[in-house]
Amino acid sequence: DIVMTQSPLSLAVTPGEPASIFCRSSQSLLHTNGYNYLDWYLQKPGQSPQLLIYLGSNRASGVPDRFSGSTSGTDFTLKISRVEAEDVGVYYCMQALQTFTFGQGTRLEIK
Amino acid sequence: QVQLQQSGPGLVKTSQTLSLTCAISGDSVSSDSAAWNWIRQSPSRGLEWLGRTYYRSKWYNDYAVSVKSRITINPDTPKNQFSLQLNSVTPEDTAVYYCARSISDMGIDHWGQGALVTVSS
């Protein structure tokens, strides 16, 4: 099974400042089609998770452009260019190459 | 727009069968680009994908190894819904259960509202 490891497990950010969340997979998520099968989700308090990024770097419909995803080998990064209050919640990475496996989550709070 | 409405009991006795249903609106369970998933969330296990059903000229199922011997996911085409059955439950199966749609290569883009299922004797 592919294991997903996120860091940090929590972070507190001042509004308007950037934030980065990291995810590492235990094996390559690179498909033969050239895409990395890695998604990012945000679970806001009291809500179901919502899709932010798919295939490593593609923003889902309606996701603000302050969210971006990048890849370096088996390391993946979610960047928020300017954190807003509505961004609080738990962020999860998920591999989609071999069914689905989630990371343990990163809790983002506002300072 | 796609909506997923979950239903089922919130309390199940140990060793019995957990059964949940997810009614789909705005899409078809027989879609040739979607898959229909069950995912659960608990403090001890985090988010855990359990399995999915999907139609690609015929019906397919995939299940997580951790529950493969106990799980069944079935489509119900006349009612446009799909179901989860998890047999021989223990308190470790206590979790919030979500149904969700995934679209080929494009992530899990719609989630049900979630349902807390407690397993207790």
Confidence of residue A23 (pLDDT cuts 50, 70, 90): very high
Query: Quick check: B54 contacting A, CB < 8 Å?
Result: no
pLDDT of residue A62: 96
User: Mind listing the pLDDT tens digit for each residue in A45-93?
Assistant: 999 999 999 999 999 999 999 999 999 999 999 999 999 999 999 999 9
Q: Do B108 and A100 touch (CB under 8 A)?
A: yes
pLDDT of residue B121: 86
Whether residue A29 contacts residue A36, with contact meaning beta carbons closer than 8 Å, is answered with yes
Residue A8 to residue A108: CA distance in whole angstroms: 10
Confidence of residue A24 (pLDDT cuts 50, 70, 90): very high
pLDDT of residue B115: 97
Contacts of B52 in chain A (CB under 8 A): 99
Which residue of A99, A101, A106 is the best one to mutate when testing the B interface, meaning the one whose CB has the most B CBs within 10 A?
A99
Q: How far is A84 from chain B (nearest CA, A)?
A: 22
pLDDT of residue A99: 95
Backbone angles phi, psi at A23, to 5 degrees: -145, 135
Residue A93 to residue A37: CA distance in whole angstroms: 10
Average pLDDT rounded to a whole number, residues A13-21 = 98
- Taking residue B1's Cβ as centre, other Cβ atoms within 10 Å add up to 6
Share of chain A above pLDDT 90, in %: 100
Average pLDDT rounded to a whole number, residues B41-62 = 97
User: Mind listing the pLDDT tens digit for each residue in B3-45?
Assistant: 999 999 999 999 999 999 999 999 999 999 999 999 999 999 9
Q: Do B109 and A37 touch (CB under 8 A)?
A: no
Residue of chain A whose alpha carbon sits nearest to that of B42: A104
Side chain identity, residue A97: L
Average pLDDT rounded to a whole number, residues B54-78 = 97
Contacts of B2 in chain A (CB under 8 A): none
pLDDT of residue B104: 86
Residue A92 to residue A32: CA distance in whole angstroms: 24
pLDDT of residue A35: 96
Q: Do A48 and B48 touch (CB under 8 A)?
A: no
